[in-house]
Amino acid sequence: MTRRSRAGDLDPDPEMWAALDGGVLRVVLEDFYAEVFADPRLAPFFRGVTKARVIEKQHSFMRQIFTGERNYFGDRPRNAHHWMVISDELFDHREELIVSALRRHGLPERLVQRWRAADECFRKQIVKAAAFGRKVRGVEMPLEGYESTPLSVGAICDRCRDPMEVGALALFHVRTGITYCAVCGPTVTQGG
C-alpha cells in the first residue's frame, strides 16, 4: 500500500528502489517513452522537448518517490501538467503503457501494482477537463500571454538563436518559458 507523509510526499519504498536501481529504471523509462513519443494520443504533449530530457526528469522524480531522497528539482505533477487537458481515460492509457514496460523488464507483479498505486496518488493533480495556470507560492499564474524582464543571466533567443546579454530585455511566454530577444519580441506580441 502506498502512503503519504504529512508533507504530502509518498513514503519511500526501499524494495521498489532495490528492484529498479542499477539501470533498470532507466531502461524501463527508455522503453516506455519510445512508445509514448510514437503514440498519437500522447506524443503531442511532448512537442518541443527531447526524449532524453523527459527520461532524465522522470528518472529523478521516480527516484525521489521511491527513495525519499531530495534529488528532483522539477515541478510537482500539478504544475508540470497544468496546461495539459488529460482525461481519466488518457491517464489510464498512459498507465497501461508504463505497466507493460515494467512487466517487459521483469518487475515482479507486486511491485508493478505498487508502481500503479504510486501513479494513482497523482491522478487528481493531473486529470482535468480544462488547463489551468501554474501555482507559484500559492498564486495561480496566467496560462497564456507574454511578460518582459531584464535578464539576470545571459540567454539565447528561442526564435533567432542570437545571444542575449545580462541586462537585455527579454520577452517570455508565461506557460512555456520560450524566450525572445527585443528584435523578435514585437513579432510575437502581434501573434507571430
| Total residue length of the chain | 192
pLDDT 10s digits, 102-117: 999 999 999 999 999 9
Which position has the grid cell 525572445? 180
Contact between residue 16 and residue 115 where contact means Cβ atoms under 8 Å apart: yes
Cα 142 from chain centre: 19
| Predicted local distance difference test score (pLDDT) of residue 136 | 79
Q: Can you name the residues that pair with 106 across neighbouring β-strands?
A: none
Contact between residue 61 and residue 72 where contact means Cβ atoms under 8 Å apart: yes
Cell of 132: 489551468
pLDDT 10s digits, 145-189: 788 888 888 888 888 999 999 999 988 877 777 888 988 876 544
Backbone angles phi, psi at 86, to 5 degrees: -125, 120
The conformation of residue 104, written as its DSSP 8-state character, comes to H
The helix/strand count (H/E) of the chain reads as 8, 7
Three-state DSSP state, 143: coil
pLDDT 10s digits, 37-67: 999 999 999 987 899 999 999 999 999 999 9
Distance between CA atoms of residues 12 and 67, nearest Å: 5
pLDDT reading at 3 higher than 80:
no
> Percent helix, strand and coil across the chain, each rounded to 5?
45, 10, 45
Backbone angles phi, psi at 24, to 5 degrees: -65, -45
Distance between CA atoms of residues 68 and 37, nearest Å: 29
* Least confident segment among 14-23, 90-99, 110-119, 152-161: 152-161
Residues with Cβ within 8 Å of residue 11, at least 6 apart in sequence: 2, 3, 4, 5, 68
Task: Please report, for residues 21, 44, 115, the alpha-carbon distance to residue 105 in angstroms, rounded to integers and kept in the order given.
Answer: 13, 26, 14
